[in-house]
Amino acid sequence: MSEPNAATSERPTLMAVGDLRDALAALERGKVSVAVAALMAIDEDSWRALERRVAAVGGDLRGLLLAAADGNTSLLTAG
């Protein structure tokens, strides 16, 4: 079994980014179970990388998900 290198663990996988996008879209449509399934598919290293990236722009992943669940998409399109 090989250990992940530092460069890999700093970035989410493309699959994880797609899973997060799918989760946010599902939340926007009110499909909570689909969103949970998509979030559960994200690997641990990618999850940490996603949290760091969201924090780097002044947000937090939990807040982003809660806002999407409440139908507030302004956080998704702010820029």
Euclidean distance between CA atoms 15 and 69, whole angstroms: 21
Average pLDDT, consecutive stretches of 10 residues, N- to C-terminus, the chain (79 residues): 54 94 90 94 95 86 81 58
With b for 16 or more beta-carbon neighbours within 10 A and e for fewer, the 65-77 pattern comes to: bebbbeeeeeeee
pLDDT number for residue 9: 65
pLDDT number for residue 17: 93
